[in-house]
Structure 1
């Protein structure tokens, strides 16, 4: 039984391995482009290389030159080959071999670098519809490099449309949010090729564009408040079921540490700003259901909380005259409308007095009722006592023997 389980697990592992190998073979594009730069020889850095002098007689003497000058590190052999050991960038250049008369026999340009390593690939969507993939080489090869990008969806292989504006970028249009995609990016240079597979579901890699039109405003008469508002990124879909949440970072320009707020609206009120100090604010966005990742930060905006304006002596005089005029105006307004104002005040006073009198009357009535009930109970108690006393005396009289008088 144990051996059967072991065999089944081994077959399962082999099956998965075969499927992965088939997927890799199917996913790797066939590179038909060949590096055919005539007169250029590509070779790996840090290795040994033998340069042959073509068209030379094997028994004749040859002279090697680099960039037109005699090569001091020359190593001659019977066949006229030049041996270069542990190559470095300093050995790059145009190599030529010449016969005894100085006639050119053969030349080649030597270019040194590294074969490619598996590229780094990142994909994201800013609106659930158009998907963007970017990549970069994992190492600097020092050689001309080409990339080929394609993707697999629903069993079909399609070319990822190259973005001619942004380098090393391609787009997949009209994606389906909950479907699975696989992107293959192949890196090729004259020394070889390699590829990277990236599998994902668009819903899980959504990354909105940064919020737009960030604005910071003062709140009049509130020296520690700032009103911040912004707009959703224009690329975000307008569908009612797709919402964003926002993270707001703010700080005084004089400080390095940030304070943070979160909001589902496109506006917040900061109430703990430092009075009189300029502040910097930035905002980022994320899918409301917490899918994917946060957007990049928006462009920073600056604002200073409201401060009470300072008054100079001349301004103070004008301010006093203004206040006097305003006072006179308010007084004249009060006098012209004093009848209405007084009537309102009188009505309010009368209503208040009426309510007070009513409360007093109710209280007096309640107290009088309680007193009356108490007196009534007391009278009833005395009446019961009298009746009981008279009944007792009557019973005692009946109990005495009758004396017959003659």
Structure 2
């Protein structure tokens, strides 16, 4: 009986020689592993406990004195004259809650003779690097960095390799530095002159210490793809006169970017301080922008960021916040709010408003002359128009009062004169005892037909003495 046909042996995929060569080229030049430890080295992690004992057990039954000494990391051999300190005396040395600073060489002595010596290394395996690279401009070096959750041990080393992809050449090796303030490693790789910005590069990283090594995942980059400019600088926000809803924003290129050869385009975002969301304006090619929908009388927060003019790479970080308030019409505020005050009641808190110095007297004028901003306060300030009206009313009242006083005096003086004349009417004029000689009545005609012309004299009707003198 014929059995089943023999099963064909599975074919194993054959790797071409060129692909194997590429793998070897990619992996070459970046060994990543822990450094070799000497036989007398003991490795422990931070926070662990351990106990050291002298090697000769016979000394436990004798009265020989045993002392322990510690030489800090870096001492070449025992008794080398490094930084040594005496710990304690006894055959046993307990070490609790080890730290990085406890690393070094421990030796026990008896009678000037070394009984035991060992090197303690307190290390923790390094974190796996997750690298990211960027370039501030076309003519700058490439910076690669990655963050660390915890501070690495003093013996930690970080290396970076960069080479062109699919090219059999030696990789560029670079030592990386740790910055404790930023808590990250940073590597600077110089770009050879004339390098093609569009060619792919392979970036490899490795972090090692006495406890082990950790290699990061290879990263494929291009010089144009890692462009990331620095944020724009000197961002200012200024009001436009007689435009209560407009603001002018100005900024400058960062010093790391040369605009003579390559340009940037910008993105601007702004918001009034009470609001939490930004309004964004894209594709700004100039170093200024007019905001035309600002809120009246509200302070606005503005930020700017930049990117390479053709969109290569990524956006920069946002610039520092700059603030500005649109132009304010003081006449309109006076008519709407009555007596002008430096404090504006708002639902969103107290704001700062720049006021003309003449409204606050000499002391405030001196402060405002220096360009300071008058903060909102509870002190009210009288409107200049109210001062003009009050001054005019005061002057008119004074003039009216003086006119009344003068009129009263004139009326009183006239009354006195009339009273004096009334008293003189009861007196008679003295006449001589002998009557004047006059012609007899018969000689005097009753009517004169042709009276002689007499010189005209003015008749004062108001003078009563003229009519009463002959009576």
Query: TM-score, normalised on structure 2?
Result: 0.52
Tell me whether 275-284 or 226-235 shows the greater mean CA deviation: 226-235
Of 295, 309, 314, the match for 1:288: 309
Q: CA 1:162 to 1:237, structure 2 compared with 1: closer, same or farther past 3 Å?
A: farther
Distance 1:24 1:274, change over 3 A: same
Query: Which residue, 24, 27, 30 being the options, matches 1:28?
Result: 30
Match of 1:68 among 87, 93, 96: 87
The reply to whether residue 222 of structure 1 matches residue 243 of structure 2 is yes
Matching residue of 1:11:
14
Please show how residues 130-141 of structure 1 align to structure 2 within 5 Å. Answer: 130=140, 131-137=142-148, 140-141=151-152
What residue is the counterpart of 2:206 in the other structure?
A: 186
Q: Which moved more, 1:22-31 or 1:142-151?
A: 22-31
Shift of 1:272: 2.0
The aligned counterpart of 2:271 is 251
Following superposition, the deviation at residue 282 of structure 1 comes to 0.8
Task: Give CA-to-partner distance per residue, 1:296-354, whole Å, 9 cap, x none.
Answer: 1112211111001357678449999xxxxxxxxxxxxxxxxxxxxxxxxxxxxxxxxxx
Question: What is residue 159 of structure 1 aligned with on the other side?
Answer: 173
Does the aligned pair in 2 maintain the 1:129–1:177 contact within 8 Å? no
Q: Indicate how the Cα distance of structure 1 residues 142 and 292 shifts in structure 2: closer, same or farther if over 3 A, else same.
A: same
1:96-144 CA distance string (max 9 Å, x none): 5466x89873355644231223222211112133221223446655442
CA contact (8 A) 1:286 1:295 kept: yes
CA distance in 1, matches of 2:222, 2:298: 46
2:298 alignment partner in structure 1:
277
Q: Cα distance, 1:201 vs. partner?
A: 0.9
3-state SS of 1:22 partner: helix
Which residue among 163, 188, 198 is the counterpart of 1:170?
188
Shift in Å at residue 281 of structure 1? 0.8
Following the alignment from structure 1 to structure 2, what is the Cα–Cα distance between the partners of residues 59 and 163?
50
| Shift in alpha-carbon separation, 1:97–1:230, aligned structure 2, 3 A | same
For residues 90-109 of structure 1, the aligned pairs below 5 Å read 93=102, 97=108, 105-106=115-116, 108=118
Q: 1:176 to 1:51 in 2, by over 3 A?
A: farther
SS state at 2:14 partner? helix
Q: Take 1:201 and 1:250, find their aligned partners in 2: how far apart are those partners?
A: 33
Say what the alpha-carbon RMSD is for the aligned residues.
Answer: 4.5
User: Quick one: structure 1 residues 170 and 52, their matched pair in 2 at CA, closer, same or farther if it must change by over 3 Å?
Assistant: farther
Superposed, 1:44-55 pairs within 5 Å as: 44-45=45-46, 51=52, 53=54
1:373-393: per-residue Cα shift (whole Å, max 9, x none)? xxxxxxxxxxxxxxxxxxxxx
Q: Which moved more, 1:309-318 or 1:177-186?
A: 309-318
Q: Does 1:307 align with 2:328?
A: yes
> Which of residues 117, 128, 133 in structure 1 aligns to 2:138?
128
Please identify, of 42-51 and 207-216, the stretch whose mean Cα deviation from structure 2 is larger: 42-51
Alignment correspondent of 1:113 = 123
Segments of structure 2 that go 5 or more residues without pairing to the other structure are 1-6, 70-85, 335-358, 360-381, 390-471
Quote how far apart the aligned CAs of 1:178 are. 0.7
User: What is the rounded CA distance, in whole Å, between the counterparts of 2:37 and 2:305 in structure 1?
Assistant: 45
| Cα shift readout 1:201-243 (whole Å, capped 9, x = no counterpart) | 1122211111122111111111111111212333234366x44
The aligned residue for residue 156 of structure 2 is 145
Do the aligned residues in 1 keep the contact of 2:232 with 2:319 (CA within 8 Å)? yes
**Following the alignment from structure 1 to structure 2, what is the Cα–Cα distance between the partners of residues 163 and 232?**
29
Going from structure 1 to structure 2, the CA distance change for 1:215 and 1:42 (only over 3 Å counts) comes to same
Classify the secondary structure of the residue corresponding to 1:61.
helix
Aligned with 1:232 (options 253, 276, 290): 253
Indicate conservation of the 8 Å contact 1:120/1:138, yes or no. Answer: no
More helix by share: 1
Distance 1:264 1:231 in 2: 12
User: Do the aligned partners of residues 34 and 171 (structure 1) sit closer, same or farther apart at CA in structure 2, a change above 3 Å counting?
Assistant: same
Of 91, 98, 114, the residue aligned with 1:89 is 98
Structure 1 residues 253 and 40: CA distance shift in structure 2, 3 A: farther
Q: C-alpha distance in 1, partners of 2:190/2:27?
A: 22
